[in-house]
Chains A and B, each alone.
Chain A
């Protein structure tokens, strides 16, 4: 299976993209009690399979219990690059601006990811590498997984922030029981 672009475990410091209105990169958002935190494989309560299609997810909603650790297995069965990102709507909006930059710099190319461009030095020691524990970025045919521990109930969505995809409806609800 081709490697995915997310690691199960993740440390807090990585690229800080150009500032957006919502906050700098993901380092700050990580670990916010509102969203949850990266989970540990040994604590996984259950596995949920999500398929990426053009341009929507199957299923379009997931039920979780506060405190649950869920392993999301994600497969991209579409013809375009898609992301699956677990966050609040406003975090998604911020991330969309970052991904727009990835498109403008030629990193995201419709149906593939330009890995060289991704690791290009932006001039300040930063790159556009997309390593987040709460998301996977998959080329068509690729699979990946996210292990996430949900904490307090909140307004969470799983979404694809590739420019235009969210607005086209590529998101799903995370319903807390």
Chain B
């Protein structure tokens, strides 16, 4: 090897050595003295809805996670079962990886697979979830479907402690799409809003908290038109009864 080559190789090796991370000291106690991985199963909504137009629905929103403080894998499930059609009006399975980006906020990314009654869709998901000041829980996601359609959802929830066991939660959800997807009834622009007010009671720790409440759903613009065309309603009030699960 020529002198200059030696020099270059030597420099390269030296740089590589400096750039390589300091090998953390082997410390077996880091395994024995630390609780590192966690898991949980929960259902925010597990309810029966009865609308002012005699519509009956069962709604499930829940999931499970596994991971560490730095990286958690979530499976999130959303489902709406319609009594009348005996079918899942909504059936979404999300698989996302979630990681903290600040003290109170996490970023997440993954896929969402929709397999309801009707057309299937697969979406890429990019989201942000966390706790905003004044204790407002926020969850917002950007979805891009396999057909190229993008949409955004935004959810905010606030819990008011009537007592330490009776909790009144107010929720606001909205969905907006950047482009139309007629096959699944999605119009361009603001699609829908859902407002909910639920009064729950922590019956068994926070593991099982039954609740009753009221939900208002409304569709807008093109989405409303599409709904009317297929014989559905564009505005509904529901009485709901259900339970929150956290384990």
A and B touch in the complex (CB under 8 A): no
